[in-house]
């Protein structure tokens, strides 16, 4: 597994992260096996959110750490807070309370990364700054970031927040590419030219913010996996051909396409299957050429100007 540095001055971690949104489906032994299988593949970055499974996902992961405390020193733990039932809440009070809940469930004294989970329309940046200062001072969170936020939202926070926001989780897959489409269709009037997110891809590259693509196998907003989906015949034909040529599973080609982008992203896998995890992690050994990258992009139904 290749490694890289998060942001501009963060720790070196695996190029691929494992998301634990579905770990509540597993029993204790299965959860132990999944974490160890990830480490065997070189994956040492684990992504959580307090909303996943209503907190149950963090509890299960905390059980893994309780059964083998030596694991904590070998991994980076990230969690996200800010989503409440029917609303978003970036108030100082909620951030601090939510982080305490994460730590208790995860059975750890610190989060290596804390992200604000999606934007809050009622955000008061000063409250976020106060909360982050407390968390940094007490050592409860070491580094900070956001998810699904555009450049102006990040700038609004960063004007007051003194900690560098070093991560932005954004949806991206071969079958969901709006942040790439707009950059290729500059000065055009076709649908792909619409800038949905304030040029967030270029912004993150300029600011040294690591993009963590989530749902890297999905099409649409939780529309399902595109791999093997008959609605994507051309894309799957190209993916399958390249997978056969390179001796890997199709999932590895889908992840390799993301890793090939010079933004140096860190895809977040959401699988609980050790087999699927191993297949996807082979992406770190696949080097796509420029021609192959664009062939996959076009096979997904994208048109070049």
- Give the count of beta carbons closer than 10 Å to the beta carbon of residue 145: 25
Pairing state between β 210-214 and 268-269:
unpaired
Catalytic residues: 52
The residues facing 268 across adjacent strands are 17
CA distances for 253 relative to 220, 285, 288, angstroms:
19, 10, 8
Q: Distance between CA atoms of 255 and 237, rounded to whole angstroms?
A: 16
Which stretches does DSSP call E strand in the chain? 3-5, 12-14, 17-19, 45-47, 76-81, 83-84, 87-88, 113-116, 144-147, 165-171, 210-214, 268-269
Tokens read off for 190: 């076709």
Using alpha carbons, list the distances in angstroms from residue 106 to 48, 66, 77, 132, 298: 10, 9, 9, 19, 42
Phi, psi angles (nearest 5°) of residue 212:
-110, 95
Q: Distance (Å, rounded) from C-alpha 236 to C-alpha 32?
A: 33
Give dist(CA 113, CA 268) in Å, integer.
14
Q: What is the DSSP letter of 15?
A: S
- Among candidate residues 243, 239, 222, the one with its CA nearest the CA of residue 176: 222
């Amino acid at each position: 597994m290749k490694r890289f540095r998060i942001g501009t001055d963060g720790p070196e971690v695996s190029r691929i992260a494992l998301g634990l949104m579905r770990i509540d489906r597993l029993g204790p032994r299965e959860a132990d096996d999944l974490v160890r299988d990830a480490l065997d593949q070189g994956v040492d970055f684990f992504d959580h959110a307090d909303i996943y499974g209503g907190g149950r996902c963090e509890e299960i992961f905390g059980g893994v750490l309780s059964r083998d405390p030596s694991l904590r020193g070998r991994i980076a733990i990230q969690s996200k807070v800010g989503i409440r039932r029917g609303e978003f809440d970036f108030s100082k009070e909620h951030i601090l309370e939510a982080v305490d809940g994460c730590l208790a469930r995860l059975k750890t004294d610190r989060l290596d990364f804390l992200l604000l989970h999606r934007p809050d329309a009622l955000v008061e940046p000063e409250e976020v700054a106060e909360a982050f200062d407390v968390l940094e001072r007490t050592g409860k969170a070491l580094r900070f970031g956001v998810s699904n936020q555009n450049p102006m939202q990040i700038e609004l926070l960063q004007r007051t927040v003194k900690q560098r926001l070093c991560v932005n989780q954004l949806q991206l897959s071969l079958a969901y590419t709006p942040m790439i489409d707009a950059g290729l269709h500059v000065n055009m009037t076709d649908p792909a030219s619409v800038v949905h997110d304030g040029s967030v891809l270029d912004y993150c590259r300029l600011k040294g913010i690591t993009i963590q693509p989530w749902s890297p196998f999905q099409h649409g907003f939780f529309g399902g996996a595109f791999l093997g989906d008959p609605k994507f015949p051309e894309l799957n034909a190209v993916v399958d051909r390249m997978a056969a040529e390179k001796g890997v599973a199709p999932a590895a080609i889908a992840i390799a396409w993301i890793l090939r982008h010079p933004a140096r992203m860190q895809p977040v896998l959401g699988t609980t299957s050790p087999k699927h995890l191993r297949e996807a992690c082979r992406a770190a050994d696949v080097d796509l050429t420029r021609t192959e990258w664009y062939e996959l992009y076009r096979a997904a139904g994208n048109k070049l100007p």
